[in-house]
């Protein structure tokens, strides 16, 4: 996967759980933030009845993260299907000198909310994804 969009997030004290590390649910929120930043770049949110819907998500927790820290989450498309897009993510920790702390994958279905059904990835969206994949990653 070539990262197309990167976001940097501050680890908050409240992100930690009783075991003293960032709770697994927070990682899912980080993925959502990166995913939305990506969707904004390719125009998949905020316009019309067609948009993304999360079909599947898998997270590999590589190393624990603790407060204080800043994490960088990079996201890019690893596969474009007929009606879906697979996003791959890598998160790194500033406190751990850029070490990978998480890898993840999401399958996003392009969904027509007015019709209540999945819809094909349009040629326009496919082109935007391919153009973004060829560009330098942008930080949000």
Is the predicted pLDDT of residue 22 greater than 70, yes or no? yes
Domain containing residue 35? 5-139
**More confident call, 1 vs 59:** 59
Determine how many CB atoms are found less than 10 A away from the CB of residue 70.
Answer: 13
Residue 67: its pLDDT value, please?
A: 98
pLDDT of the residue at 47: 73
Please count the structural domains in the chain: 1
Do strands 138-139 and 99-112 pair parallel, antiparallel, or not at all (unpaired)? unpaired
Average of pLDDT values for 52-65? 98
Average pLDDT over residues 23-41: 97
Count of CB atoms within 10 A of residue 136's CB? 6
Predicted confidence at residue 139, as pLDDT, reads 61
Contact 19, 25 (CB under 8 A): no
| Whether the predicted pLDDT of 60 surpasses 90 | yes
- CATH value at residue 63: 3.10.129.10
pLDDT of 25 > 70? The answer is yes
Angle at 41 between CA 80 and CA 75, to 5 degrees: 60
């Amino acid at each position: 996967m070539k990262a197309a969009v990167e976001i940097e997030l501050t680890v908050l004290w409240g992100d930690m759980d009783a075991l003293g590390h960032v709770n697994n649910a927070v990682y899912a929120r980080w993925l959502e933030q990166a995913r939305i930043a990506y969707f904004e770049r390719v125009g998949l949110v905020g316009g019309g009845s067609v948009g993304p819907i999360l079909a599947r998500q898998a997270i590999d927790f590589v190393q624990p993260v603790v407060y204080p820290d800043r994490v960088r989450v990079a996201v890019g498309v690893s596969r474009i299907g007929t009606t879906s897009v697979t996003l791959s993510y890598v998160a790194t920790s500033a406190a751990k000198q850029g070490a990978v702390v998480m890898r993840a994958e999401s399958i996003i279905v392009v969904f027509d909310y007015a019709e209540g059904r999945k819809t094909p990835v349009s040629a326009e969206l496919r082109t935007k994804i391919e153009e973004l994949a060829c560009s330098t990653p942008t930080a949000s």
